[in-house]
Amino acid sequence: MPNHENQSDKKCRISNKELNLVLDFGMQPLGNAFLSHQEFDSEYFYPMKVGFCNESKMFQLIEQPEPKKMFHENYAFFSGTSKKMGQHFEKFSQSIINSEYFSNPNPFVVELGCNDGIMLKNFANRKISHLGVEPSKNVADEAKKIGINTLVDFFNLLTAKKILDQYGQADAILAANVMCHIPDIKNVVEGMKLLLSPKGIIVFEDPYLGDVITKTSYDQIYDEHVFLFSGMSIKNLFNLYDLELIDMEKQETHGGSMRYILAHKNQYPISSRLEKIFQFEEELGLGDYQKFKKFSANVEQSKKDLVAILKDFKNDGKVIAGYAATSKSTTILNYCNIGSDLIDYITDTTPIKLNKLTPGMHIPVVSYDHFLRQPPDVAVLFAWNHQDEILEKEKKFTESGGKWITHVPEVKVF
């Protein structure tokens, strides 16, 4: 039964204006809430709808479950599971360390949502003073094990005050795939403003709305992603706190992300790159609610196409596996109503997900060994954002006739 608690937030979390409905996905479970048979009765559902605010330009969930339901001591997402992401964070860290903006000889770096320490270890290894703030105890424990100075807490204005008292101002405040998770984001930005040294920088990256629209990657929409940012919305939000967007850098991670660099107002010149990106966003319609209608139609078409292809394979008696039990796949499976009648099992490498069932649709999650020992006829690439890495690893499956299905940028078999 639906048992969401948070029915009141119909307004934009930035401007407090009424939100315009973009898409209604119906009742959805939590993207990462893999469960056992015993937990069926207490499974949590909430109405997942996305809306857009014409004033703040923020694309956001209309309602969201309480953060404590999502980020807790059993949080199932470990950043370190992908090799490519490890390399990405190494480069991310180097870009900060070598940056013209990072000039304090004794810098202090704070990372929001440091997860298992995948980014901060690059600072720790160079003996750079740092602090990771991570609300999910199980992943924070992993960070501590590798020597990352970690505070198990949510970052907000109060936490920022405590950090300031204990450590002083931060020269860089970092976050990766974290800011878009935080409903009370204004409080977080206020905390960043307080903690940031006069010449300090805020650098964060998150899945980019521009990619979601151009690739119809609607699976980026799930409970944890309360926002999907654009340059426009980030500029507006930080401007409220006299923080200035000075640069943006497109990233290929997480299926298409954007890195935002911000500073106190009038501290640094504004990069010439911004003008082009803003122009792209205008042309794509990221500032206008009416333009999202095309996106909604594309999402519905994607659902029809995916279900039709799966049914065709099933009618031919094929075994279909899902490749990676991603949180994104929870949106696809529940929105398209795909259960174990269409997908036999999903394989994943994360131990905590194994021998569990997927949220809502209850497809069994099995080990990677199982996939290797009894390869399916068809694999649905739910971790499409790791496509290159996976196709490289699964050459044998492909060469022996295994078929792949992806839904990004449109549904196809290859």
From residue 349 to residue 378, the character string flagging contacts with ligand TMP as x (rule: CB under 6 A) and all else as - is xx----------------------------
Q: Does 324 bind ligand TMP (CB under 6 A)?
A: yes
Query: What's the rounded Cα separation, in Å, for the pair 29 and 42?
Result: 11
Residue 197 Cβ, how far from ligand TMP at the closest point, in Å?
Answer: 32
Q: In what order do the strands lie in the sheet with 59-61?
A: 20-29, 45-52, 59-61, 227-228
Cβ-based nearer residue to ligand TMP, 305 or 389? 389
According to CB under 6 A, which one of 56, 150, 159, 385 is a site residue for ligand TMP? 385
**CA gap 393, 86 in Å, rounded:** 17
* Contact window for ligand TMP (CB under 6 A) among 44-52, 100-108, 209-217, 320-328: 320-328
Query: Per CB under 6 A, does 81 bind ligand TMP?
Result: yes
# residues contacting ligand TMP (CB under 6 A)? 15
Stretch of residues binding ligand TMP (CB under 6 A), selected from 94-102, 166-174, 380-388, 395-403: 380-388
Residue in 35, 124, 325, 354 binding ligand TMP, rule: CB under 6 A: 325
Residues 113, 330, 348, 380: which binds ligand TMP (CB under 6 A)?
348
- Does 329 participate in binding ligand TMP (rule CB under 6 A)? no
If binding is defined by CB under 6 A, does position 389 make contact with ligand TMP? yes
Q: Which of 326, 331, 334, 406 binds ligand TMP (CB under 6 A)?
A: 326
Residue whose CB is less far from ligand TMP, 155 or 384: 384
Closest CA to 207 of 387, 59, 68: 59
Which among 146-154, 183-191, 269-277, 382-390 is the span making contact with ligand TMP, rule CB under 6 A? 382-390
Stretch that binds ligand TMP, among 50-58, 66-74, 101-109, 381-389 (CB under 6 A): 381-389
The footprint of ligand TMP on residues 9-28 (CB under 6 A) is none
- Give min distance, CB of 115 to ligand TMP, in A: 11
Based on the shown chain and the rule CB under 6 A, indicate whether residue 82 belongs to the binding site for ligand TMP: yes
Q: Which residues sit at the interface with ligand TMP, rule CB under 6 A?
A: 81-82, 324-327, 348-350, 383, 385-386, 389-390, 393
